[in-house]
Structures are given as structure tokens and as C-alpha cells.
Amino acid sequence: VQAAILATGTELTRGELVNGNAAWLSERLTGLGIDVIEHAAVPDDSARIANTLARFGREVKLVVCTGGLGPTSDDLTAQTVAQLLCVPLVRDAHTIERIRERYRKFRGLERERLDPSELPEMLQKQADVPEGAQVLDNDAGVAAGFAISIGSARCYFLPGVPREMTHLFERHLEPAIGLRIARTSAQVHIRVFGLGESQVAERLADLEVGGALHRPGISFGYRAHFPETEVKVLAKVPAAATAAATAAELEAKTLANAVAEQAWARLIPYAYGGREDSYPAHVGELLRSRGLKLALAESCTGGLTAKLLTDIPGSSDFFQLSVVTYADAAKRDLLGVSASLLERHGAVSSEVAAAMAEGVLMRGNAEPGAVLGADIGAAITGIAGPGGGSAEKPVGTVWFAVSRRNSTNGFTTRTERRNWPGDRESVRIWAAYCALQLIAQAASSGTSSGTS
């Protein structure tokens, strides 16, 4: 079944409101196995609304339309549909009752009944539906929704207020549609950090359409979620008769999972989770599960790495502190990085990164009376730009250091230089994620015995 979604409202085409309704409806319809082939949004303009509905009536079997059911003069949907189908508007008695009751309460009127003539026409208008329409009772608001056929499409008209729209969808549409549709597709998402879209696609080439291991019904989608990449594995099986619907859904799920497993194997060690997962939470979970405590020293990321980790509820289990030493003087005073080291190598260097990581690890271990006791110290020092770059160290150059305490209270420090050719914002985000990646590597590698 193919569907289209129409949203009406000049506030949308003027950009005063983002069309979140279309995304919500699409996700729900996709979940029911329906193929949404278009979203359209048009202003409060009868001709444009009518043209779009007529077009959808030729192209799809199901239309969901939101907005334009309210009381004001720019709410034109019911009247437009009636004109398009050459039927009169009729006033729904049940909705009029609801409106009257609401009006009575609003005005604080004591009388049990109101004469219809006392109800402003503007309010009554919200009970108008085209003749022949099925009324979708709106117990979450005022205006009635309705369903009617236009061309080959069954069209559902819902209020634009998200709360009312979602309520009517769940109460009226989902049961009606769900009964008629057998799901024949399933999707699995894989989130990846450390490979770009094209690198991911290269690794999955043999599973793709045309590849040696491609399985019928499987397609892949890729999306950049800077600095991450998301892979979507979509499995479709032939449409099933209603009786075999459950079997078809299960078959699609099994196929999607099997191929996702093959894809995951090709994306190790960059793949880390599914659709709802986040990379910082993944790294945090790794630290938590190993009972490791982290201390950070951030320069160019300016607190962003700490922010990403403390976004996670309960992050105090593994995150102890971050020292954002933006100024060189702060690196000296707070982390004990020596002035001569800074002068000899510059703040963006392997040596200073290492001294920062060790310094922040030591703050929690070696100071008199210290109670911190971090297990991993990590440092980030780089040039985020726009200024500060040189031929030798261009903007986007970042040195990372991770220092891990071992069982004999010595430590091992590793440093790594990376470069990201982007603007200040993207360099900072990327650098924070890289630091998390190196922290995860140190956490996974077990306690090592060397010292730096």
C-alpha cells in the first residue's frame, strides 16, 4: 500500500513551524508496512489543497491530511474537500453537542442546554464535514476529523495540533489500517563511528544489490549523522495474504537480522550500536562495566567531551572530572605541565598531550589527601581554528593522549595525532568523539604493565 501525507497551513510554507506531523505520521505508517511516497505542505489556499488531494487521489491508496479544521477563516479543509467532490457540507450533531458543552463550561454558564443560535457560527463550523464522510470523533479537542474517498485513495483528515492529531491517528486510523495491512518489511540500524559513509559502503559492497553475497529483498541505506554514520538494513519479503501476515513479518525480521549481522562483522571495530544508541553512552557503559573511573584534560574541545559524557544519567559512576585548560597557564598551574615542555614542543604536541593526561591522572592519585583515584586520564590538545594554524600544524591538527594506571600504580601513556579538515565546530565535535574512541580502546585493552 502506498500513502501520501498532506499538511496544510501558511505557517508551514512560511517556515514559522517545522512539519513534525509528517515525520510522526511517516514513522507510524512505515511501521505498519505502508510505503509513504510523498509529503506535501501547502498554504491555506483552497485551489492548492484541492489540486494536491486530486493528484494524490490518482497516485496512492491512502492519504493522511493534517490541519485546516479549526474555527478561523483560514481553515479551509472541509469546505475544499466538499467542493472537490461536489457534495454539500453537513453539520455533525455529535460534534455540535461536544462544542456546545465545551462552550458552556468555558463561559461558566449554569444552564444545562444552550440554544444552537447562541453558539457562534465560527465554533459550529468545526462540526462541518463533507456529506458522505465518516466522522472521526475528536475527544481530545474540538474540531471533528473525517475520512472520505477521493479518487482511488481513502483520505483521513486530522487536526494540525500534534496532540489531537496523534490521538485521532491512534484511535481511528491505526486500528482501521492495521487490520488491512500485513507487514512485509523489517529494518535494522547500525551506528558507526570512525568510518565515513563511503568507507562504510565500500565494506558492505558484497552485501549490496549487485554484490556477490546480496540476498533478494535486501537494500541498504546510509546516513551521515556527523561525526557518526548510520547504516540501515532493510528487508522486504513478498506481500502476504492476511492469513500469512505474521509469518511474512517474522521472515522479514529474520532476514534483516541475519544480514545486519554480516554487515556488523564487516564494520568491526567501528560499529557500536543500534538506532537508539549514542557513542558517548556506549563508551560510558564500557567504563562502567569495567569499573573504571575517568579524568579528562581538555584544551581545544573546551569541555565538550565532558559534556557528552555527563549527558548520560548516572555518569558519576565512571566520570570524575574534566579540567578544561584552555590557557597554557592553566595547563601549568592545574596539570603541572612544565613551562619548558610547553616552550620546547608547543601546546599542541605529543609531549604536552602526554603530560596533560598524566597530570590529570595524577591529580586524582598522587596529591596529598587525594581521594579521587582515576584509572584513565585522557587529554586533547589541538587547533580548532579558525586561527592558530601553521604549515606544520594546520587547523584541525589534534594530539590525543590516554594514560592508563596499572596494577603496580605505574601507568602507560599512548599518544596519537589526527587531523580533521573542517571548521571549528566540526573539528571540536570530531575531536571529542576521537577522544572517546581512544578511551574505549584503553578501557578494552586491559591493564598493561609498562610505564611511559
Query: Segment 390-419, which members bind a second copy (CB under 8 A)?
Result: 419
Q: Which of 88, 178, 211, 386 binds a second copy (CB under 8 A)?
A: 386
Which residue's CB is nearer to a second copy, number 224 or number 265? 224
What is the radius of gyration, based on Cα positions, of the chain? 30
β-pairing verdict for 2-8 and 35-42? parallel
Binding window for a second copy (CB under 8 A); candidates: 30-38, 129-137, 242-250, 259-267? 30-38
The answer to whether the CB of 60 falls within 8 A of the CB of 153 is: yes
Residue 140: helix, strand or coil by DSSP? coil
- Nearest distance, CB of residue 399 and a second copy, angstroms: 15
Nearer of residues 369 and 446 to a second copy, judged by Cβ: 369
Task: Please choose, out of 128-136, 174-182, 200-208, 254-262, the segment that lies near a second copy by the rule CB under 8 A.
Answer: 200-208
Q: Residue 157 or residue 319: which is nearer to a second copy going by CB?
A: 319
For the bound state, the minimum distance from the C-beta of residue 252 to a second copy, rounded and expressed in Å, comes to: 15
Q: How far is the CB of 188 from a second copy (least distance, A)?
A: 13
Burial 160-179 (b: 16+ CB within 10 A, else e): bbeebbbbbbebbbeeebee
Q: Shortest distance, CB of residue 449 to a second copy, whole angstroms?
A: 27
Strand order of the β-sheet with 228-236 is 218-225, 228-236, 185-193, 271-273
SS3 13: helix
Q: Does 144 bind a second copy (CB under 8 A)?
A: no
Binding residue (CB under 8 A) for a second copy from 64, 129, 188, 306: 306
Closest CA to 252 of 235, 234, 231: 235
Per-residue DSSP letters for 188-205? EEEEEESS-HHHHHHHTG
| Beta-carbon-side half-sphere exposure of residue 376 (alpha carbons within 13 Å) | 30
CB of 10 to a second copy, least distance (A): 6
Q: Is 79 in the site for a second copy (CB under 8 A)?
A: no
Task: State residue 126 phi and psi, 5-degree precision.
Answer: -70, -5
Asked whether position 276 contacts a second copy by CB under 8 A, the answer is no
| 266: contact with a second copy by CB under 8 A | no
Q: Report the SS3 class of residue 376.
A: strand
State in angstroms the smallest separation of the CB of 450 from a second copy.
Answer: 26
8 scored as a contact of a second copy (CB under 8 A): no
Interface with a second copy, residue 97, by CB under 8 A: no
Report the distance separating Cα 75 and Cα 86, nearest Å. Answer: 19
Q: Is 432 within 8 Å of 324 (Cβ atoms)?
A: no
Query: Which CB, 43 or 151, lies closer to a second copy?
Result: 43
Beta strands at 411-419 and 397-405: parallel, antiparallel or unpaired: antiparallel
Shortest Cβ distance from residue 50 to a second copy (Å)? Answer: 13
Q: Does 68 bind a second copy (CB under 8 A)?
A: no
Q: Which stretch binds a second copy (CB under 8 A): 81-89, 255-263, 324-332, 441-449?
A: 324-332
Q: Which stretch binds a second copy (CB under 8 A): 89-97, 176-184, 402-410, 424-432?
A: 424-432
Q: Which is nearer to a second copy, 373 or 410 (CB)?
A: 373
Nearest residue (CB) to a second copy, 51 versus 83: 51
Smallest separation (angstroms) from a second copy to the CB of 119: 11
Q: How far is the CB of 159 from a second copy (least distance, A)?
A: 10
Window 152 to 171, contacts with a second copy (CB under 8 A): 161, 163
DSSP H helical ranges for 204-244? none
CA dist 311 → 12, 44, 234, 278, 280 (Å): 32, 41, 31, 10, 9
Half-sphere exposure of 33 (CA within 13 A, CB side): 24
Shortest Å distance, C-beta 100 to a second copy: 12
Q: For residue 116, give the amino acid letter.
A: P
Grid coordinates belonging to 41: 505542505
The single residue among 29, 133, 165, 434 that binds a second copy, judged by CB under 8 A, is 29
User: Judged by CB under 8 A, which of 428, 431, 440, 443 binds a second copy?
Assistant: 428
Q: What is the largest CA-CA distance in the chain?
A: 90
